[in-house]
Amino acid sequence: MQIYIKRIMLIVTVVLGISFMPEAAKAAIVKNIMAGQDAPVYSLSGKTKVMVGNLVKGQEYALIGEDSGNYHITFGNGRAYVSKRNMAITARMANQTNESRIGTVKSGVITLRKTVIYDKTDKSKKAIAVINTNIRFPVLSKAGEWYKVGIGNRIGFIPSGNVKDDQGIPVLMYHHMLENPALTPFKNNDMVITVSAFEEQMNFLKADGWKAIDGQELERYLNSEQILTGKAVLITFDDGYTSSLKYAYPILKRNGLKATQFVIGGRTYPAANPWDENKLQYIGYKEMLETSDIFDYQHHTFGMHLRESESLIPYLISKNYEQIKADVERGRRHLGEGVLDPASIKYLAYPWGQYDEETMAAVKDAGITMAFTTETGNVKLGDNPLKLKRQGIAPRHSVADFVNKLNGTYVDPRIKVNKPVQNVVENPQQNGKTPSKTGAASSKGK
């Protein structure tokens, strides 16, 4: 009984001490949580809970938030959740907390197996937490056989043998697909793939354990607000052709995948024209609503998917800041009517991958938070959100090429430097031979 009374008095003393502290001293208090037992920690992927690791009994972590049933901590690249039943609140002065000053992280790893985070690297090391298999985790630095990482506002260390370098998140780029393009005017068009090839690729993603994310998840990841698994992929379609509805939609749905559509606003009407494999038809408002369970509809400009008639310079290069900004704002409103939420239209794919500094300034000021190019590569932490790379998929790409694109190891044997891909041409007789310029090197020439 005496021990019980002493504990009560100690708690009261601590509480009263904090209550009567000067405001400056109170500000220095950091709320921590201590694990009463080994406890699973979760992240959210959309509405799905994903177990990303475990906290270790007796270890403390800085508290960054809470809800009715969970405490929130930083875990790798984002916010993670642990049940309040397994944790207890503690409080200590800020200068006693081993805080990690992460700043802007530009590299990361993917765990190959369950990986322990230790508080140090010598023989006296103790476990702080455990990261599950196939989790992307940002790193601060590497020293010898150890990576330095941050967790719960603490510094930790993981053995390099348990992880592999993160080659980035693949953003797949598709345009048009047909059952047999060779029997149509789109024969030999480099941006028209067969339905069977697309189905094989999507079947591979499912069988190999890939998870399709949306633009919101990618944006949160780049902003260090989202934990993602190692096999995360963003699937995109440019131009808004109805072949993506006729063929891609059921294949994606059957495989439990989702995708993003970059739609040309000026070619989007209340409903699509009837299907004709010898012509191009564009998705309408009706189809956007009907397929919103699989497709997230985003921006491909309103009226800038054009070139100057004589020079063939794309409008996003030839037009000025005010014209581009006005076009993007108009497109956001127009497409927003189709999805009943104009504010959700905040991602853009540059037509033909063409852009320059003025283009980026204009689209940013028009409310675009991420923009995608046609430059080959995967998206990595620290990338400019208005210059994101993608992996274009063409008829010439084998299954092995597809896998290399997913893993960020694809090298185009035809060229020594990356070039933007061509678009499906409006006149099929041109067979996709419209000339283009590299976006990054373009200038408006005013």
CA 280, CA 245: separation in Å to the nearest integer?
13
Task: Give the mean model confidence (pLDDT) for residues 244-254.
Answer: 98
Residue 273: the pLDDT is 96
Residue 148: the pLDDT is 96
Model confidence at 156: pLDDT above 60: yes
Model confidence at 69: pLDDT above 50: yes
More confident residue, 437 or 145: 145
Q: Which two tokens stand for residue 373?
A: 């190019």
- Give 106's pLDDT tier (boundaries 50, 70, 90): low
Tokens 């997913």 belong to which residue? 406
- Give 114's pLDDT tier (boundaries 50, 70, 90): very high
Task: Give the mean model confidence (pLDDT) for residues 308-332.
Answer: 95
- Give 428's pLDDT tier (boundaries 50, 70, 90): very low
Whether 119 and 126 have beta carbons less than 8 Å apart is answered as yes
Residue 101: the pLDDT is 47
- Give 238's pLDDT tier (boundaries 50, 70, 90): very high
Model confidence at 16: pLDDT above 60: no
Average pLDDT, the chain: 87
Q: Are strands 259-263 and 232-239 parallel, antiparallel or unpaired?
A: parallel
Residue 31 parent element (H or E): strand 29-35
Of 39-43, 245-249, 342-346, 422-426, the poorest mean pLDDT is in 422-426
Q: Report, at the CATH architecture level, how domain 171-430 is classified.
A: Alpha-Beta Barrel (3.20)
Task: Give the mean model confidence (pLDDT) for residues 214-233.
Answer: 95
- List all residues 6 or more positions away from 117 whose beta carbon is below 8 Å from its beta carbon: 127, 128, 129, 130, 131, 149, 151, 156, 157, 158
Give the up-direction half-sphere exposure of residue 187: CA atoms within 13 A in the CB hemisphere.
5
Residue 2: the pLDDT is 58
In the chain, % of residues over pLDDT 70? 83
Query: Taking the model in full, what pTM does it have?
Result: 0.85
Residue 91: the pLDDT is 72
- Give 413's pLDDT tier (boundaries 50, 70, 90): confident
Residue 24: the pLDDT is 46
Q: Which residues are 225's β-sheet partners?
A: none
- List all residues 6 or more positions away from 420 whose beta carbon is below 8 Å from its beta carbon: 352, 353, 354, 373, 374, 375, 436, 438, 439
Residue 439: the pLDDT is 44
Start and end residues for every CATH 3.20.20.370 domain found in the chain = 171-430
- List all residues 6 or more positions away from 182 whose beta carbon is below 8 Å from its beta carbon: none
Distances (CA, A) of 30 to 19, 34, 93, 225, 249: 14, 13, 6, 21, 49
Residue 92: the pLDDT is 63
Task: Give the mean model confidence (pLDDT) for residues 219-235.
Answer: 95
